[in-house]
């Protein structure tokens, strides 16, 4: 019996263009994630003064934006396709063509946040907790943009919700971008929000950030079983993908940070 598959929505990656200038869903997803994440951070600061003064968030948005974009691009170049970009260095700067790595973006963001916090005299762990709580918003929009672009698709499957992607050959595949949007975005955001508003985790700087790292690492590691490995890398050590190998240290580091934070003396809510 012939397998029934879902129709892939062929949405034009370009929203509109004016001459050589084109607005793409990929770029819009980053803008939406940064702005909505920033507004959530403002909400957190107003409801919980422990994080930081809301007026300082304008500068924080600048640091986070540079960290995400520069770190994400450098991470993709170094982790996923160094040979190609070293042979074609001019394309390193063509970010609008796609090619961003979350793990690199995370490292870039952490560096930017540390610099921001030290310059402002704010506890870097508190800043990290706030940004970690909002980060799944950007992850959700980023994965939706990956789906619209028809990139980072999943492995071949006979699941009834499988799709034939334009760049994935004739066989139906997992819509792994949507799995990631659900796990890394919606689920992780919900868990962190529940912990922030229903428990005393805010009193332990570093705990939210640590749980975000561990939570993202677990979600990404799981989805990699359904996602097609990058063609230029394939399967690596013991059949693991690059995404899984990069996620393992995130899980371990995140759990260590969260446990360390919980063992430290709690701070007062108004601190």
Binding annotation: 143
Q: Quick count: other Cβ atoms within 10 Å of Cβ 93?
A: 9
H or E stretch covering 23: strand 21-24
Task: Provide the token pair at 48.
Answer: 């919980």
Q: Could you tell me which of 173, 152, 153 has the C-alpha nearest to residue 162?
A: 173
Beta strands 14-18 and 21-24, pairing class: antiparallel
234 φψ region: left (φ > 0), alpha (ψ -120 to 50), beta (else)? left
Q: Could you tell me which of 7, 3, 8 has the C-alpha nearest to residue 159?
A: 3
């Amino acid at each position: 019996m012939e397998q029934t598959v879902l129709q892939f929505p062929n949405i034009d990656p370009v929203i509109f263009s004016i001459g050589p200038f084109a607005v793409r869903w990929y770029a819009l997803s980053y803008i939406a994630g940064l702005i909505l994440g920033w507004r959530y951070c403002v909400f957190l600061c107003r409801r919980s003064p422990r994080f930081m003064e809301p007026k300082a968030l304008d500068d924080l948005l600048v640091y986070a934006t540079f960290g995400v974009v520069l770190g994400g691009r450098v991470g993709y170049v170094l982790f996923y396709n160094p040979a190609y970009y070293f042979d074609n260095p001019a394309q390193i700067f063509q970010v609008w063509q796609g090619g961003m790595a979350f793990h690199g973006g995370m490292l870039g963001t952490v560096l930017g946040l540390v610099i921001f916090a030290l310059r402002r005299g704010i506890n870097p762990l508190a800043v990290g907790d706030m940004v970690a709580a909002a980060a799944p918003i950007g992850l959700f929009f980023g994965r939706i943009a990956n789906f619209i672009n028809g990139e980072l698709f999943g492995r071949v499957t006979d699941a009834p919700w499988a799709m034939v992607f334009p760049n994935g050959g004739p066989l139906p595949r997992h819509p792994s971008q949507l799995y990631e949007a659900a796990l890394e975005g919606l689920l992780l955001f919900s868990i962190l929000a529940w912990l922030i508003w229903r428990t005393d985790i805010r009193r332990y700087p570093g705990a939210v950030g640590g749980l975000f790292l561990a939570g993202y690492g677990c979600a990404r590691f799981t989805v990699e079983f359904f996602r097609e490995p990058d063609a230029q890398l394939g399967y690596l050590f013991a059949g693991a993908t690059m995404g899984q190998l990069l996620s393992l240290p995130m899980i371990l580091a995140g759990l260590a940070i969260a446990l360390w934070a919980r063992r430290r003396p709690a701070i007062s809510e108004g601190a």
